[in-house]
Amino acid sequence: MTSQSIIFVVIYLFTLLTAALEMVPLSVAALLGAFLTIWFGLSYGVFTYEEATSFIDMKILGLLIGTMIVLEVAYRSGIFRLLALYAIKISGGDSRLLFIFVCLTSAVISMFLSDSTALLMIAAAAATISRLMDQDPSPYIVSAAIMVNLGGTSTLIGSVSNMIIGVNAGLSFMEFIAYLAPCEITLWILTMLALYMVYKPHFVVKKSVPTYNPWESIEDKSLFNKSALLLILMIGLFLVQDQLNVGPEAVALGCAVLALSLTSVDPSDIFRSLDWETIFFLSGFSVIVKGLEKTGFLSQLSQVFLSLSGSNPGGATALMLWISGLASSVVSNIAIALTFTPVIKALPQVNSTALWSALVLGTNLGGAATPMSGVVVIMAINALKREGSVVSFAEFTKVGTLTTLIQLGFSTLYLMLRFGLVG
């Protein structure tokens, strides 16, 4: 390892450390690391200024920002809250059915909303019903956090890490679903079964639920109808983007323009509501990883990875899954996706689709193992505190670790069989 590589590795680790210890916000840590990368990169001649200006992938940013705008407009229409309220209403007071609907609704809604927004909405609805039914909200809200983290694993827009991997791997919306949807659906079932067995003693006899009409939660019917049509249009265009010869970022940005043009929402209000923390973290960390790549360190890392796997495609895929999964339990999955993307690109003569799929699964599944794994878990614990129900670090870790190990274990088997890596 050269002295230049050491400097950039130190910058990388410094960024992760300052973010993990919450010395500064995530975005500030990434931007500081990006500043140091540019400074030392130009000073040591590792790259030119012109090269540095291309370090941020505008396709990824376009996909992210466009999707955020469409979903923020849809969120304000009440469409996702309507789905959540209907799921709870259908349960009819049966705590076991309510549990199933909370889990399924959490997973489905997180395919379209950011994880934090999805959890806030589900937690609010579940807490309200738990109070009305005089039940402990912890089984529902903890399970919601785990299912929100799992939901959207098989879609290109399901998480920021998916967008990063999909754009770099050249995977279309339909290819994402084809490779990963069977695994995700099975993981939903296995995870719900594990959670049900853990919380089974909490489920009591059926109680009556107060009568309410979910449609009363919709205040602006016109906005609701337009938002529903825009969501259908965006997903439909994602499905046929290959035939249109455009990238997913073009679909997302085009639908975002329509959402702002055809609805009555205030664009400036929508822009203020976007998750700029994630946008700037993604931008800053992209620069840091590109700096590492320019030193040749990530190419060396890919060779180390290949030697550890014994140049075996099955071993390489399993190793990628578990390393990224365990790393994502303590480090932002965006950082893990950005770090391992160039590593996969540098690997010769391997089943790259299997490795990309392993990275998708790993970066998604590691996000709910412990309270330190992500903001969604912290939000769930805080929501329970507000309801007077305390879940300790050890209690959540017990449930989160169990479900994470089950998910990673099944995913290993799925990848071996799906891509013919056995034997």
Tally the residues of the chain. 423
Q: Is the pTM of this model over 0.85?
A: no
Residue 329's pLDDT band (cuts 50, 70, 90)? confident
Instruction: List CB contacts of 250: < 8 A, sequence separation 6 or more.
Output: 62, 241
Complete DSSP assignment for 62-101: HHHHHHHHHHHHHHHHTHHHHHHHHHHHHHTT-HHHHHHH
| Contact between 415 and 321 (Cβ < 8 Å) | yes
Q: What is the mean pLDDT of the chain?
A: 85
| Contact between 128 and 150 (Cβ < 8 Å) | no
Distances (CA, A) of 74 to 69, 112, 226: 9, 10, 9
| Contact between 359 and 320 (Cβ < 8 Å) | yes
Distances (CA, A) of 149 to 17, 98, 302, 363, 373: 23, 19, 28, 10, 10
Residue reference for tokens 């009440």: 78
Residue reference for tokens 């939000």: 379
Least confident of 252-266, 301-315, 324-338, 395-409: 301-315
The string of pLDDT tens digits covering residues 353-401 is 999 999 999 999 988 888 767 768 877 887 788 778 888 878 888 999 9
| pLDDT score of 193 more than 70 | yes
Neighbours of 100 (CB within 10 A): 18
Helix (H, G, I), strand (E, B) or coil at 311: coil
Cα gap 65→61, rounded to integer Å:
6
The string of pLDDT tens digits covering residues 11-33 is 988 988 887 777 888 789 889 99
| Contact between 330 and 372 (Cβ < 8 Å) | yes
The string of pLDDT tens digits covering residues 222-237 is 999 999 899 889 888 8
